[in-house]
Amino acid sequence: MDRKLKHIKQFTDAKAAIKLISNEILLINDYESLRKYLDLISSYFMKFANDETAPNKNILALQNFFRDNAKIKRDPEVIAKNAKAKRLSHKTTFKDYIDDYRVLRERGHSYRSIADYSEKYFKVKVSKDTIKKYLKELSNDTQ
């Protein structure tokens, strides 16, 4: 993978990590849970703190955090649990959930099941073809 494409992928994963972190923090209701979550995030930054060869340490830390936690935090049960919070944050179009669709697709869900899931839990009606089109565009942009 050439350098520019590698940087685009790192950038995309880092942005997704920030979104994941933000969503998780919004759902935390007590001090102790917040402290533990922030300690977890800090541990990723500490892994790269002493790496003299990585000029983009923070982006790499976010990318690794996203890779490790996206599938754990975004399994269908957790997505269903958080769907109400997402609706309350005024998300109204399928584009607002494109990262969720991407994670579900990476977990092996069909475009049809993602469309059904979107309608059931996000209350956003979208066709399987639309999801397919936008996920393909997203993957083409990051490759």
DSSP string, 103-135: HHHHTT--HHHHHHHIIIII-----HHHHHHHH
pLDDT at site 72: 63
Instruction: Give the CA distances from residue 137 to residues 77, 81, 131, 132, in Å, rounded to whole numbers and listed in that order.
Output: 27, 28, 10, 9
* Same domain flag for 13 and 23: yes
pLDDT at site 73: 57
Query: What is the rounded CA–CA span in Å between residue 54 and residue 49?
Result: 9
| Apex 108 CA angle, 74 and 85, nearest 5 | 25
pLDDT at site 67: 81
* Same domain flag for 90 and 59: no
Average pLDDT of adjacent 10-residue blocks, the chain of 143 residues: 76 84 85 91 86 80 82 62 59 79 89 91 89 86 61
Q: What is the pTM of this model?
A: 0.47
Q: In the structure, how many helices (H) and strands (E) does the chain have?
A: 7, 0
* Per-residue pLDDT tens digits for 76-96: 666 666 665 555 555 578 888
Final residue before a domain boundary, out of 36, 53, 73: 73
Q: Which residue range is the domain that position 128 belongs to?
A: 74-143
